[in-house]
Amino acid sequence: MEEKRQPLEVYVERYPDIPIEVILKEDLLRLGVRFTEAALAAAKDCRPKSYYLFSFDRIRHDEMEKDESSRVPDDIDFLGGLYNLRQTNFRVEIARDTPYLIDVEDGEIVLFENETPVAQILYPPKPDYYRMTFEDGTSYGQIVPLLFGRHAFITIYRFCQFWGAGEECKFCDISANLRDLRKKKDRMNPDHVLYRAVKNADQVATVIETMHKNMFVEEKESLWNRMVSILITSGSIKKTIEGMKPIDFYLRYVRAIRERVGNRIPIILIVEPGEEEDMKRLHEAGVTSYNPNFEVWDRRLFQILCPGKEKYIGRDEWIRRTVKAVEIFGTGNVSPNFVAGVEMAQPWGFQDVDQAVGSTVEGLDYMMSKGVVPHPDSWCIEPGSALGGHPPIPLDYYLKLDRAWYHTWIKYDLPPNTGWGPIGNGRGCYGNSGYVNMREGRI
């Protein structure tokens, strides 16, 4: 898997049909980014990294010499620069060994590829509600961070019950992330109120109501900080949590939110697929879109990389329930993710890029033919996962997969994934993958 990285311009020439924004975005997601002290100082008043689910970093908190995890933005937009790029956002992954550096030059924040300035950088402003706290000291922004300036993201249960029994997905660091956050010294909050495993449903609903009032009801001139969807997720629950079955646990939050803000804003639920009656209850309660994340298509790799999911539900049953969900939620409203790149995880995965892409496309084609609109999330190789330290996946893999996703989506004439925003270069507002920035040709 080790490869000598080629300059960005090589890929720009190699893939003339793929937007340059997609090429740069995918390279940033697979390699991460470094910050100078000046760039960190410039981020003082931006929307900070919230560590809302996984670490999405290439190095641990205690390896960050500048305390970057407390100082960087959650996500960043790039635009202009060497290639006259359209404004595009991407997830911030802190890394050490990366050619990408963010620095300040002549008063402007700039992205460098090695020594070459590539693009202007925009940091996200901090929403007003981030400055609010509950009586127990919990920050509104930690209860419900604003992902990519568009999506209210709620991790209602921050552990996964597959962890500790050797059943966790090998690319995932959800439980390790929470443990690391709790270890990290927090002078303002020594009791770690911010990092409870289970979030208070009333606090969640209160924050959503505040966001709705400030970002949705009141007209805003700026496109920054506008809630267009509500995402609810949870680590896997084997049997019960707080005396409740998983379905009742999820419904507690869905109902609390709907009671406060009504039905206009879509709610996306990202959990394991339930039985048909459970999915109907979720839909009736106000869940708009159902995202039972599938992770990896290949049967053998699913069993190896997702042992808990294989043991408690199984690949075939996972697929059956996902397809069944379309009858309940509708076409475009069922959108499991694929962790793009784990098909090449060694020592088990494909070593050839085209074979790896072909395997995933088989899954995309099957799902989309059934009205399911999967979304690829580019794999961040986190040190707290079982695959920490794995070398980066070739950029060619991501570019070929984004192209194939787009062509398959067009083939089946499907709508965008509900709640994730539009598809198109300069329009996509999802920072975890370049697929949302795809379109034909460069115009």
Q: What is the CATH number of the domain that holds 366?
A: 3.20.20.70
Q: Look up tokens 């997969």; give the residue.
A: 401
What is the three-class DSSP state of 139? Answer: strand
Q: Helix H segments across 184-230? A: 201-211
User: CB within 8 A of 397, min separation 6: which ones?
Assistant: 340, 341, 344, 353, 356, 357
Of 304, 298, 333, 339, which is closest to residue 319 (Cα–Cα)? 298
| DSSP letter assigned to residue 379 | P
pLDDT of 188: 43
Q: Which amino acid is at 154?
A: I
The model's pTM: 0.94
pLDDT of 184: 73
Please state, rounded to an integer, the average pLDDT across all residues of the chain.
92
Q: Is the peptide bond before 347 cis (omega within 30 degrees of 0)?
A: yes
The model's pLDDT over 13-24, given as tens digits with 9 standing for 90+, comes to: 999 999 999 999
The model's pLDDT over 293-331, given as tens digits with 9 standing for 90+, comes to: 999 999 999 999 999 999 999 999 999 999 999 999 999
Of 384, 316, 365, which is closest to residue 54 (Cα–Cα)? 384
What is the three-class DSSP state of 290? Answer: strand
The model's pLDDT over 126-149, given as tens digits with 9 standing for 90+, comes to: 999 999 999 988 899 999 999 999
Beta bridge partners of 244: 241
Q: Which amino acid is at 336?
A: P
Give the domain extent around 30: 1-443
pLDDT of 193: 53
* 247 touches 274 (CB < 8 A): yes
pLDDT of 403: 96
pLDDT of 223: 52
State the Cα angle at 419 between 418 and 424, rounded to 5°: 80
Give the separation between CA 380 and CA 338, rounded to whole angstroms: 13
Q: DSSP per residue over 1-16, as a string? A: ---PPPPHHHHHHH-T
Give the separation between CA 92 and CA 210, rounded to whole angstroms: 26
Cα 116 to the center of its chain, rounded Å: 28
| Total domain count, the chain | 1
* 60 touches 37 (CB < 8 A): no
Give the separation between CA 122 and CA 132, rounded to whole angstroms: 24
